Amino acid sequence: MQQLGLPAFSRFGALPSAMMRIVKTEIVVALIGAVGVMGAIVGTVVGARFQANGGHAQAAAARAAADTAARAAWHQTMRDLRWTVLSAYLRAAAEADEADEAAHRTGTPADIEAAKKAFHAYRLAYAEGELIASDVMIPALTTLNERMQRSHHEAMQRAPVTAAMRVLEDRRRLGDSAASQALQHLEEGMERGLAQPRMVEIARDALRLVPETSARLYGLSIILSWGDAYEAIIDYTSAARARSERLTIDRTSLVNVIRTELGTTA
């Protein structure tokens, strides 16, 4: 019985060892599976992280591209707007200058009124130009405006003087001795370089010889702008050329700055 039971015992004694091997194998398989799962999880997390970073980079690149496009659009809009407004300003300046010169030349009420209207339009154009001009343009824009202001002021002062001279000269050509004597006194006083108060007295005494009130008022306006104005009226052509040259210098300076800023110099 013991002999018969011994093999059986040996078989049962060998069972735990086989089971241990099976358990170990299962543990190894389980560990391998767990490592695989963990690897998949880590891979998923890392992949998601890379995708997220890539998404942020793409979003940042998109924002940068949008900002660049917006800035380019803004600069193009400002360029077009400056071109339109400053071109209109230069046209208004040219028209105001022409109207002032007409007032200088004739002194008629119609030309004086036209010069006032043209200068009003110029001032509106200048106000728009100030708003749209870049910082680099402002000094040249201001210089030209100051030139325009002086030119218009002189035109409004000297236009009546021009008219007075035209009246007196026309009367002298027609043989009016009073007008001839008045002009003679004025010219002599100018040649002698008398002080303005004394010239006012001489002019008034001379103009009393001209009976018409209009001529007397015109003549008195000559004294109000005495000095360089008198020379400018007597020699209108030279004075007009000098004014044009000064205005052209200031205008050209502004145009050069505008062209450089707007990129039209090439």
Assigned domain for 47 exists: no
More confident site: 263 or 182: 263
More confident site: 266 or 5: 266
Assigned domain for 67 exists: no
Assigned domain for 166 exists: yes
The rounded mean pLDDT for the chain is 75
Q: Where are the alpha helices (DSSP H) in the chain?
A: 2-106, 109-132, 138-173, 177-192, 196-207, 213-224, 228-234, 236-262
Assigned domain for 35 exists: no
Assigned domain for 151 exists: yes
Q: Which pair of structure tokens corresponds to residue 125?
A: 């154009």
Q: How far, CA to CA in Å, does 139 sit from each of 27, 97, 133, 263, 266?
A: 88, 20, 10, 19, 23
Assigned domain for 233 exists: yes
pLDDT (tens digit, 9 = 90+) per residue, 61-120? 667 776 677 777 767 788 889 999 999 999 999 999 999 999 988 888 899 999 999 999
Is the predicted pLDDT of residue 23 greater than 50, yes or no?
Answer: no
Whether pTM exceeds 0.75: no
pLDDT (tens digit, 9 = 90+) per residue, 192-243? 665 566 666 666 666 666 665 455 555 555 554 455 666 677 777 888 899 9
Task: State which residues form the domain around 138.
Answer: 79-262
Give the pLDDT band of residue 5 (cuts 50, 70, 90). Answer: very low
Number of domains in the chain: 1
